[in-house]
Amino acid sequence: MTSCAAPPELSGTGTSMRRGACPSLAAPMQTGDGLLVRLRPAADGLTPAEVKALAGAAAACGSGIIEITARGNLQIRGLTAASVSSLAAAVGEARIAVAEGVAIETPPLAGFDPDETADPRPLAQALRAAISGARTLRLAPKLSIIVDGGGRFHLQDIVADLRLSAIVRDKSVFWLLSIGGTARSATPIALLKAREAVAAVMDVLADLNALGPAARGRDLDADRLRQLWPSDMDLPPAGDGGRPLPPAGIHAFGGASIVLGLGLAFAQTDADSLTAFIRQAEELGASEIRLAPRHGLFVLGLSSEAAALAQHLAYANGFLVSCDDPRNHIATCAGLACASALMDTKATAALMVEAAPDLLDGSLIVHLSGCRKGCARPAASPLTLVGAPSGYALVVNGTASVAPSAYRDGTGIGSALAALNGLVRQNKDAGESALSCLTRLGTARIAQAFEQG
């Protein structure tokens, strides 16, 4: 049983309200429901025993609410200054290694997915070692590096400051170094062999260090960087792998390789549900759990028959088990659990599933943000609903922070969502997606339906 009495040697943990800081064990973040801690496991995955230990600690030391972020990190909510220390002790007792420093991210099935162009883990590990040894670097707290070997669950749609993407040229693997944005929007810099990539990234980090501790990839001089690594090979075009599938589903990778993917409904689960499912999955043969971007997790080690049974058990415990579940297509922040929120995003998301199913066909992500900070989805969305003092603001093709296209008072949100659903249903051509229909209709028609429906 996990105790929440703060060990003396771990007491005094600081808290952070800085939006630019990551809420780690050493610096939890104050939110509306207490302190929040974000954990990035250092290993590729967690054992079932480790997941159960984390769930038990979340229940004993916090509210029991567990989240997996859009980038695949685990968050534990509802902590206090004293219980953060106990959570740290529980993590240590379970011998779970937590990554610190610059976030270096690889696809969730790196090293397992036979469709990946290259295993990104050796290069990622070499980068971690090089950065750890460069003690003079002072970098932005949320700076991130993606090392993407490709595969079915690639990271092309995840924003990063620096990106190394595996490509094949002349039957050899090269790593495309680019800066800022997603794979599609990032600025390409150089095409490098693995042995060159670490030194190149360290040079870029030195430039960021010179620009100051708030500098990000978008602040770099791309033309100057290209001159450092000239090549006779043309830089490839922007990434075109498309948006990866939601994690939910049973994924076959040839032979007996089966992965059960699960999603967290509106990015959250609770400790009891997670513990119950993991215990059942372990009995069926599950050997490893990998956290996944887009609020999911993968269960490895199951046979086809066991995966099908585990999928039913996961559904009974409240997880998303299918890629066509409409809840996969709504991105929500913590909502009223955050002191900044002006909207109950979880309740609104549930209402949207009922009132606007035609919007949730998988062609777009609807973003529900409790305030204008847009924490759940920094990128633009076709439709973003934002909490406002007088009700709800709708942003079309933008982020939560831009000027809204329409407003609706708090009592009319149900009819407003139903009106958007009717707009798509009545105007969609045969075979047309919701996104294509909304794009064709334009912002003015969308805003009018939202305000008048």
CATH number assigned to the domain comprising residue 86: 3.90.480.10
Determine, yes or no, domain membership for 118.
yes
* Same domain for 388 and 274: no
pLDDT tier, 230 (very low <50, low <70, confident <90, very high otherwise): confident
The predicted-structure confidence for 333-382, as pLDDT tens digits, reads as follows 889 888 889 999 999 999 999 999 999 999 999 999 999 999 888 889 99
Whether the pLDDT of residue 214 is over 70: the answer is yes
CB of 83 closer than 8 Å to CB of 62: yes
Rounded to whole angstroms, the Cα distance separating 447 from 435 reads 15
CA angle, 405 as apex, 399 and 409 as ends, to 5°? 105
Give me the domain span that covers residue 127.
109-228
Predicted pLDDT of residue 18:
40
pLDDT at 31: 83
84 part of a folded domain: yes
Q: Are 28 and 15 in contact (CB under 8 A)?
A: yes
Q: How many residues does the structure list for the chain?
A: 453
Check residue 378 and give its pLDDT.
81
Same structural domain for residues 367 and 414? yes
Residue 1 lies in a domain: no
pLDDT at position 239 is 66
Can you give the pLDDT at residue 242? 65
Distance of CA 132 to the CA centre of its chain: 24
pLDDT for 234 = 82
Enter the pTM of the model.
0.87
Which has the closest alpha carbon to 251: 214, 292, 216?
292
Are 160 and 189 in contact by the 8 Å Cβ rule? The answer is: no
Pick the last residue of a domain from 285, 308, 323.
Answer: 323
Does residue 31 share a domain with residue 84?
A: yes
Last residue of a domain, one of 323, 356, 380: 323
pLDDT at residue 21, rounded to an integer: 56
Q: How far apart, in whole angstroms, are the C-alpha atoms of residue 314 and residue 265? A: 12
Question: Rounded mean pLDDT of 172-200?
Answer: 94
Residue 65, amino acid: I
What average pLDDT does this structure show over 12-18?
A: 42
Instruction: Supply the pLDDT for residue 10.
Output: 36
- Residue 236 in any domain: the answer is no
pLDDT value for 241: 58
Taking a C-beta distance cutoff of 8 angstroms, is the pair 423, 447 a contact?
no
Residue type, 450: F
- Out of 198-202, 254-258, 316-320, 427-431, which region has the weakest mean confidence (pLDDT)? 254-258
Q: Based on the domain organization, do 436 and 355 belong to the same domain?
A: yes
CATH of the domain at 445: 3.30.413.10
Q: Give the residue-averaged pLDDT of 149-167.
A: 94
pLDDT at 81: 92
140 in the same domain as 91: no
How large is the average pLDDT for residues 44-49? 97
What average pLDDT does this structure show over 111-126? Answer: 96
Say if residues 72 and 291 touch (Cβ distance below 8 Å): yes
The answer to whether 271 touches 59, Cβ cutoff 8 Å, is yes
Determine the average pLDDT of the residues in 236-248. 73
Is-contact 362 328, C-beta < 8 A? yes
In a domain, 150, yes or no: yes
Q: In this structure, are 82 and 20 located in the same domain?
A: yes
Please state, in angstroms and rounded to a whole number, the distance separating the CA atoms of residues 451 and 404.
Answer: 12
User: In 3D, which of 301, 327, 299 has the Cα closest to residue 311?
Assistant: 299
Q: How confident is the model at residue 17 (pLDDT cuts 50, 70, 90)?
A: very low
Are 347 and 445 members of one domain?
A: yes
pLDDT-derived band of residue 143, with 50, 70 and 90 as boundaries? Answer: very high
3-state secondary structure of 272: helix
Looking at every residue in the chain, the average pLDDT score rounds to 91
Is pLDDT above 70 for 290? Answer: yes
- What span, in angstroms and rounded, lies between the C-alpha atoms of 165 and 155? 9
Check whether 288 has a pLDDT greater than 70. yes
Please say which residue of 279, 305, 323 terminates a domain: 323
End-to-end CA distance of the chain: 52
Residue 320: pLDDT above 90?
yes
**What domain count does the chain have?**
3
Q: How sure is the predictor about 14, in pLDDT bands with cuts at 50, 70 and 90?
A: very low
In a domain, 164, yes or no: yes
Asked whether residue 9 carries a pLDDT value surpassing 50, the answer given is no
Q: Alpha-carbon distance 30 to 336, whole Å? A: 13
pLDDT in the model for residue 375: 85
CB atoms under 10 Å from CB of 224, counted, come to 10
Q: What is the pLDDT of residues 57-114, one digit of tens each?
A: 999 999 999 999 989 999 999 999 999 999 999 999 999 999 988 999 999 999 999 9
- The percent of residues in the chain predicted with pLDDT above 90, rounded, is 80
Residue type, 226: R
Q: Residues 286, 354: one domain? A: no
Whether residues 446 and 336 share a domain: the answer is yes
The pLDDT value recorded for residue 29 is 85
Query: 305 or 21: whose pLDDT is higher?
Result: 305
DSSP state of 336: G
**Number of neighbours of residue 62 by Cβ within 10 angstroms:** 26
Same domain, 120 and 45: no
Please choose, from the candidates 175, 142, 174, 176, the residue with its C-alpha nearest in 3D space to the C-alpha of residue 161. Answer: 142
Give the model's pLDDT for residue 16.
Answer: 41
- Residue 22, domain member (yes or no): yes
**DSSP assignments along 137-185, one per residue:** ----TT-EEEEE-BSTT--TTS--SEEEEEEEETTEEEEEEEESSSTTT
Q: Are residues 156 and 203 in the same domain?
A: yes
- Cα 59 to Cα 40, 79, 220, 273, 452: the distances in Å are 19, 10, 43, 11, 44
Are residues 335 and 436 both part of a single domain? Answer: yes
**Domain presence at residue 274:** yes
Residues of the chain with pLDDT > 70, as a percent, come to: 94
Closest alpha carbon to 55 in 271, 268, 269:
271
